[in-house]
A and B are shown apart, each in its own frame.
Chain A
Amino acid sequence: MRAAIGKEVTNTLRDMELEARMRMQYEVEQFLYNEAALLDDRKFQDWIDLLTDDIHYWMPIRRTMNANQLNEEFTKPGDMAYFDDDKEVLKYRIARLDTGYAWAEQPPSRTRHLITNVRITNFEEKEIDVESNFHLYRSRLDTEEDSWFGKRCDRLRRVGSDLKIARRHIYLDQTVLLSTNLSSLF
């Protein structure tokens, strides 16, 4: 085992891979941070442009289950969900906010997306699978607060020189949502 570890450390190829991986990690992290800034700065149109046309934006329902049935904790694709959107529906969500009549966001809430624990879990030529943890904080009107914690499983796709989001699956930690609504984007 010792020899193997030594071999790994001195393996130039590994070093190069690590460097490439670091570059990819940096690129992915910067992408996610910039994306979060667009949402917090309410630049929703710019945010929509970060999505591929075939995006699946999905937040399943989480349930409090016993340990022996934890495989049923989240609803499955095709079951009920909180979000199950394609790009068209996401565009409506944005367009709604622009009407001035989306009362859950009028006056607009203040949001802060904290994106952490970014891990690249798989990558192929054009696509990178990324898991990250988030804390989405919403401050609304005078004293209302929402805090959503959870995990996002994203698939990023390289389109030309840009990255775009081809899949976002959002796994919340709450089972009964302690919020009046979900008018924010995750």
Chain B
Amino acid sequence: MNQATKASARDAGPASSYVDTENGLVDRTIFSDEAIYHRELERIFARAWNFMCHESQVKEAGDFFLTRIGEDQVIVTRDKKGAVNVLLNSCRHRGNTLCRAEQGKARSFMCPYHGWNYGLDGKLVGVPGYEEFYRGGLDRDEWGLGHAAQVDSYKGFIFATMDPDAPGLLEYLGETGRVGLDIAAKDENIEVLPGIQKNRIGCNWKLAVDNLFDWYHPTISHASSDRSDFFPLQDTLYQMNQMVMLGDYGHAIAGPFVKPEGEDAASDVENTYGTQPIMPHPNIFPNLWIALNGTQLSLRLPRGPFETEIWWFTLVQKDLPAEERRKTQLFATHFFGPGGLLEQDDGENWAHSTRATKGIANRRYPLHYAMGKGKDKVVDSPLGHKRVETVVNEHGQLWTYKAWAEWMDADSWDELKQNHTPAPTGRI
């Protein structure tokens, strides 16, 4: 630890002291401080419902998929009874990694160190020398794998939390989270296309997350797509025509205004590239972006304060004709992911925003998240959703940081339930 990190860890006050919600300012310290990062792992990732994968990825008994909850690697399995399990990928004997393949099919998980063997449900089913060496001194029932406190799915999207006191998934998602996932779930007849794009960006995870609400950046960040005629941005951004939904526990949706089904269907917006309607971008707090009309999910996995792993899941309707399926796959490949013509230019911005947060002098200058602050009000949509109808703004970002501080300062789920700011009404 260098001096700067030590000093800030020692001085670290409540998280709310880093987020000035009155003026829309965020202290840069939260993007690089080691102590704050460790507190995030405890108070956000080990507490939240984290997205694991889609049910189509663990369809049959024995299917498994590796992912992470914070820095803890977990194995998502389908067991023989058909249940989905989320297991810590670490042997209870010496802590060694059990499963090294990122996905596949298994009957059980045997530790490559001494051979402790665990079932798909995490139960310890085999111990070499159980009789001869342990001689009755080991109770296998007590030494199953660590596992998620709760596992549930919403319309095929599997989530898990490490906190037994977390509210149920439906309550956690609230209206905003459910509306967000509904965009991706469509008629629930969907599956994940084989191939999860994964890459590392040298940025703090929160800077990647706050970008998803940001309909201010595309004209500049993605100007090359526009100027090269690959993707004419002016026709598709609708910067003067935006909507925002802010929900409990930090979920939010922001982006071009497209009325949900059941309202005026004529307001659907189609871009010129294909048939993908541009929809507002939801984030399921903390780190699941539902991108572009729910065609893709982008998960931002923290790997230290200065490193984030970005995973892209691509969703297609199962009965889509081959040609349409191919179109969806090409659209996803050409636009997003590390090689995407749009996405290429984002990562470096986030990395450089992160880089500057290490500087002592730079930390004296908070980041500005006040666009539209105090200028808008929450109204009821015809379907009864509370939302803001406005121009490009930073309500979604500021809401995320406000929620972040509440999560960080709450000692327990009970406290978070009581003290979190409910979805706003009136002027924001």
Q: Which residues of A contact B (CB under 8 A)?
A: 59-61, 63-66, 69, 72, 75-76, 78-85, 89, 92-93, 95-104, 175-183
Q: Is A80 a contact partner of B329 (Cβ separation < 8 A)?
A: yes
Q: Is A75 a contact partner of B195 (Cβ separation < 8 A)?
A: yes
6 further contact pairs, Cβ within 8 A, besides A83-B339, A101-B224, A103-B224: A66-B101, A80-B197, A96-B341, A102-B224, A176-B198, A183-B339
Q: How far is the CB of A76 from chain B (nearest CB, A)?
A: 7
Q: How far is the CA of A81 from the CA of B104 in the complex (A)?
A: 19
20 A-B pairs with C-beta separation under 8 A: A61-B196, A64-B102, A65-B101, A65-B102, A66-B104, A69-B105, A75-B195, A78-B329, A80-B312, A80-B329, A80-B333, A83-B333, A92-B229, A92-B230, A92-B341, A96-B227, A99-B224, A101-B224, A103-B224, A180-B199
Q: Is B332 a contact partner of A80 (Cβ separation < 8 A)?
A: yes
Closest B residue by C-beta to A65: B101
Q: Is B194 a contact partner of A99 (Cβ separation < 8 A)?
A: no
Q: Is B223 a contact partner of A99 (Cβ separation < 8 A)?
A: yes
Identify which of B73-81, B146-154, B169-177, B344-352 touches chain A. Answer: B344-352
Q: Is B344 a contact partner of A181 (Cβ separation < 8 A)?
A: yes
Q: Is A179 a contact partner of B329 (Cβ separation < 8 A)?
A: no
Whether, in the assembled complex, B428 has its beta carbon less than 8 Å from a beta carbon of chain A, the answer is: no
Q: Is B202 a contact partner of A180 (Cβ separation < 8 A)?
A: yes
Closest A residue by C-beta to B231: A92
Q: Which residues of B contact A96 (CB under 8 A)?
A: 224-225, 227-228, 230, 341
Q: Categorize the interface residue count of chain B.
A: 35 or more
Q: Is A99 a contact partner of B228 (Cβ separation < 8 A)?
A: yes
Whether, in the assembled complex, B282 has its beta carbon less than 8 Å from a beta carbon of chain A, the answer is: no
Q: Which residues of B contact A100 (CB under 8 A)?
A: 224
Selected from B101, B104, B330, B343, the residue in CB contact (under 8 A) with A181 is: B343
Closest B residue by C-beta to A67: B101
Q: Which residues of A contact B10 (CB under 8 A)?
A: none
Q: Is A75 a contact partner of B194 (Cβ separation < 8 A)?
A: yes
Q: Contact mask B106-121 → A, CB, 8 Å, 1/0?
A: 1000000000000000
Q: How far is the CA of A93 from the CA of B223 in the complex (A)?
A: 13
Q: Is A177 a contact partner of B224 (Cβ separation < 8 A)?
A: no
Q: How far is the CA of A69 from the CA of B101 in the complex (A)?
A: 10
Q: Which of B316-344 contact A (CB under 8 A)?
A: 325-326, 329-330, 332-334, 337-339, 341, 343-344
Q: Which residues of B contact A97 (CB under 8 A)?
A: 224
A80-B196, A176-B200 are known contacts. Are A101 and B102 too (CB-CB below 8 A)? Answer: no
Q: How far is the CB of B50 from chain A (nearest CB, A)?
A: 18
Q: Which residues of B contact A (CB under 8 A)?
A: 100-106, 193-202, 220-221, 223-225, 227-230, 309, 312, 314, 325-326, 329-330, 332-334, 337-339, 341, 343-345, 347-349, 351
Q: Is A64 a contact partner of B223 (Cβ separation < 8 A)?
A: no
Q: Which residues of B contact A92 (CB under 8 A)?
A: 228-230, 341
A60-B195, A80-B195 are known contacts. Are A176 and B309 too (CB-CB below 8 A)? Answer: yes
Closest B residue by C-beta to A62: B195
Q: How far is the CA of A83 from the CA of B197 in the complex (A)?
A: 11
Q: How far is the CA of A182 from the CA of B344 in the complex (A)?
A: 7
Q: Which residues of A contact B228 (CB under 8 A)?
A: 92, 95-96, 98-99
Selected from A84, A103, A176, the residue in CB contact (under 8 A) with B329 is: A84
Q: Which residues of A contact B330 (CB under 8 A)?
A: 84
Q: Is A179 a contact partner of B200 (Cβ separation < 8 A)?
A: yes
Q: Is A104 a contact partner of B347 (Cβ separation < 8 A)?
A: yes
Closest A residue by C-beta to B104: A69
Q: How far is the CB of A48 from chain B (nearest CB, A)?
A: 13
Q: Which residues of A contact B326 (CB under 8 A)?
A: 78
Q: How far is the CA of A63 from the CA of B201 in the complex (A)?
A: 19
Closest B residue by C-beta to A72: B104
Q: Which residues of B contact A183 (CB under 8 A)?
A: 339, 344
Selected from B193, B201, B338, B343, the residue in CB contact (under 8 A) with A79 is: B193
Q: Is A175 a contact partner of B198 (Cβ separation < 8 A)?
A: yes
Q: Is B102 a contact partner of A175 (Cβ separation < 8 A)?
A: yes
Q: How far is the CA of A180 from the CA of B340 in the complex (A)?
A: 12
Q: How far is the CB of B302 from chain A (nearest CB, A)?
A: 14
Q: Which residues of B contact A176 (CB under 8 A)?
A: 198-200, 309
